[in-house]
Amino acid sequence: MKIQYNNVAVAQSITEQPINDQSSCDKTKQISEWIPEILLTLKDYSLGSCFSDVKAGMLVSVVAFPLFMTFAIASGVAPNIGILTCIVAGSLACIFGGARFQIVGPTGAFAMIVADIIKTHGFEGMTCALIMAGAMIVLFGIAKIGDLIHYVPHPITAGFTAGIGLSIIVAQLGTFLGLTLPRAPADFVDRICCYFMNLGTMNPYSFGLAICSLTFLVAIQKYKPKIPGYFCVIVIGIAYSLIFSDVGLETIGTKFGDVKNHMPSLAIPDMFFSFSNLKKLFPAAFAIAFLGSLESLLGAVISDNLSGEKHRSNMELIGQGIANLGSAFCGGIPATCALGTTSLNVKVGAKTPIAGLFNVVFLVLFMVCLGNFVKIVPMASLASMLLYTAWNMAGFSKSKYILLAPKSDSMVFIATILITVLTDIVVAVEIGLVLSAFLFIKRSVETTTAETFSRVISNVCVHDKECECVRICGHLFFGAAPILHNALKSLPKTHDTIYIDMQNVPFIDVTGANVLKEFVAEVKGKHIEVFIGGLNKRTMKALKKMDINNELQGHLSEDRI
């Protein structure tokens, strides 16, 4: 007997060990969820990984340097602010983020939002909005809503991305054509009209350079995609500017002056301490936070697909929020994952987030070594780069299948584009989400049916009785409640028993439950028994929870016809 007890004790210790191991594993997983990716990769970091990261950082910086300058200009700030933003935000995102390959900086998605905020509230107002947006993104991560952002319907994301691309194209069209404009209107339609009215001011040298640069970019991408086309366009533009120095070319220097004098200092705007100002800036801050979070997580998913790695959404949002806070306090502009450079970072062999830090190091070297040449870069070269990038960003060739999808999806897509172009992205996303919600409700209602018939039922509730039956199929929610109401009202009630079969109802809400309760209360007064059967555990639990007046008590069963 004693031996048997010992055997039992040994068996218990053996069976309990995996449970303890599992508990320890779960705790480790919970802790690692909040550790920045760079710390998780350092334990296995090697000289080979360092070499791959250095190479990737150098190659990505060649593309990022001109690209981030163009996005800064599109945002209405000096080009060096774009580089500064990448240096500060890019470093912080690599140190605190939850993805391995993110390259963070100003992007085309933010360009029109930032430009509008600066026109309306000034650079200080944009900084205040960015501080609030950074805090929001950090809170998004802490609240673990990183995965929820993926529930935004694709027609909406594709629509506002295409709308932003079109807005950038129209905003840069005047510079691309070499027009001399007194002041281009902010409105989309008015801006186009202004271009037509000032076609006579076109500078043929500027327009010729823009056409050649755009053609070069298209040809490089098609035939030699490994060549850094953007950097080549900058070099060609500098050479062109030196050769044709007396033909009235608009350059970074003539438009922004000496960019070295635009380096901002660390400060908090006075507007930040005014509640009324923060209230006015809240919609803009939310737009930055929403779009930055969405672009960041989209970039992480793309890099995961290319690399086979897996990011942590909530930690990535915290890193992005910290990056934008750092950018705001250092005088930068909003930053998020740059999809093109992030994809390139993976393709050229980056191994860890340290590749992003090396990218920042090389950007600093470029700024120091090429600073004197930046001011003679023609604006036409940058405009051609922006037009090419914005067209790719709009992605009409990739999104045309949405127009061939059901009319509801294509309608949301087109509406989001138009609202983004004609108003702003916040309104576009809000209206797009409302439209998508209504269309989803409509589709759900169309798939819900209620069939009435009479038959003999044999189960626990009803023993060999001929009943009036109604069989419901689909989600029983507020949108489909009228279908159930009409079906119940249409029952002839010629028998003393009614059976409601809910075998194919996966979900019920308060409105659906209330229709059932009212029907049961009505027929009980006529001495008619009602039984509700075929309930799954979820609907059974929901009905019992919502049974405030106990009208359904004793009428619920999991039995099926």
Question: Which of 126-130, 249-253, 476-480, 535-539 is the most confident on average?
Answer: 126-130
The string of DSSP codes covering 8-66 is HHHHHHHHHHHHHHHHHHHHHHHHHTTS-HHHHHHTT--HHHHHHHHHHHHHHHHHHHH
Is residue 314 within 8 A of residue 98, CB to CB? The reply is: yes
pLDDT digits (tens, 9 = 90+) for 190-231: 888 888 888 888 999 999 999 999 999 999 988 888 888 888
Decide if pLDDT at 118 tops 70: yes
**Nearest by Cα to 75 from 117, 115, 108, 107:** 115
Q: Could you tell me the CATH superfamily of domain 448-546?
A: STAS domain (3.30.750.24)
Is residue 321 within 8 A of residue 137, CB to CB? The reply is: yes
Is residue 183 within 8 A of residue 385, CB to CB? The reply is: no
Average pLDDT score over residue span 176-198:
82
Measured CA angle at 116 (ends 62, 392), to 5 deg: 40
Confidence of residue 335 (pLDDT cuts 50, 70, 90): very high
Mean pLDDT of the chain: 81
Average pLDDT score over residue span 387-407:
80
Decide if pLDDT at 350 tops 80: yes
Question: Which of 56-70, 147-161, 176-190 is the most confident on average?
Answer: 56-70
Measured CA angle at 179 (ends 200, 173), to 5 deg: 120
- Tell me the CA end-to-end span of the chain in Å, nearest whole number: 54
pLDDT in the model for residue 322: 95
Confidence of residue 269 (pLDDT cuts 50, 70, 90): confident
**Nearest by Cα to 512 from 542, 489, 553:** 542
Decide if pLDDT at 459 tops 70: no
What 3-state DSSP class applies to 185? coil
pLDDT in the model for residue 5: 34
CA atoms within 13 A on the CB side of 488: 26
Decide if pLDDT at 10 tops 50: no
- Dig out the tokens for 402 from the structure: 């949405």
Is residue 138 within 8 A of residue 294, CB to CB? The reply is: no
Residues in the chain: 561
Is residue 533 within 8 A of residue 558, CB to CB? The reply is: yes
b/e burial code for range 73-92 (CB count within 10 A of at least 16 → b): bbbbbbbbbbbbbbbbbbbb
Cite the residue boundaries of each domain of the chain with CATH code 3.30.750.24. Answer: 448-546
Helix (H) or strand (E) holding 505: none
How many CB atoms are closer than 10 A to CB 471? 19
pLDDT in the model for residue 507: 85
pLDDT in the model for residue 285: 92
Average pLDDT score over residue span 519-547:
79
The string of DSSP codes covering 52-83 is HHHHHHHHHHHHHHHHHHHHHHHTTS-HHHHH
Average pLDDT score over residue span 275-290:
88
- Dig out the tokens for 94 from the structure: 């690599």
Rounded CA-CA distance 274/279 in Å is: 9
Decide if pLDDT at 515 tops 60: yes
Is residue 323 within 8 A of residue 104, CB to CB? The reply is: yes
Helix 47-74 and helix 229-243: axis angle, to 10°? 50
pLDDT in the model for residue 150: 66
pLDDT in the model for residue 260: 59
Lowest mean pLDDT among 291-295, 426-430, 439-443: 426-430
pLDDT in the model for residue 494: 78
Pairing of strands 104-105, 449-457: unpaired
pLDDT in the model for residue 12: 39
Phi, psi (5° rounding) for residue 292?
A: -65, -40
Rounded CA-CA distance 173/191 in Å is: 9
Q: Is the pTM of this model over 0.85?
A: no
b/e burial code for range 309-344 (CB count within 10 A of at least 16 → b): eebbbbbbbbbbbbbbbbbbbbbbbbbbbbbbbbbb
pLDDT in the model for residue 18: 52
Rounded CA-CA distance 551/359 in Å is: 67
How many CB atoms are closer than 10 A to CB 252? 25
- Dig out the tokens for 61 from the structure: 């910086």
Average pLDDT score over residue span 323-348:
89
pLDDT in the model for residue 489: 83
pLDDT in the model for residue 13: 40
Q: Scan for tokens 């673990």, then name that residue.
A: 144
What 3-state DSSP class applies to 257? coil
Decide if pLDDT at 82 tops 80: yes
Phi, psi (5° rounding) for residue 501?
A: -90, 115
Decide if pLDDT at 403 tops 70: yes
Lowest mean pLDDT among 49-58, 82-91, 500-509: 500-509
Helix 379-394 and helix 204-223: axis angle, to 10°? 40
pLDDT in the model for residue 3: 34
pLDDT in the model for residue 321: 95
For the chain, percent of residues with pLDDT exceeding 70: 86
Q: Who wins on pLDDT, 33 or 457? A: 33
SS (H, E, C) 159-189: HHHHHHHHHHHHHHHHHHHCCCCCCCCCCHH
pLDDT in the model for residue 386: 85
- Dig out the tokens for 527 from the structure: 């001495």
Q: Who wins on pLDDT, 200 or 257? A: 200
Distances 421 to 75, 90, 163, 170, 425 between C-alpha atoms, Å: 16, 29, 5, 10, 8
pLDDT in the model for residue 377: 87
Characterise 292 by phi-psi region: left (phi > 0), alpha (psi -120 to 50), beta (else): alpha
The alpha carbon of residue 155 and the mean position of all alpha carbons in its chain are separated, in whole angstroms, by 12
pLDDT digits (tens, 9 = 90+) for 245-255: 888 888 888 88
Average pLDDT score over residue span 128-143:
93
Phi, psi (5° rounding) for residue 122?
A: 80, 175
CA atoms within 13 A on the CB side of 194: 19
Contacts of 436 (CB under 8 A, 6+ apart): 153, 155, 156, 412
Decide if pLDDT at 9 tops 50: no
pLDDT in the model for residue 14: 37
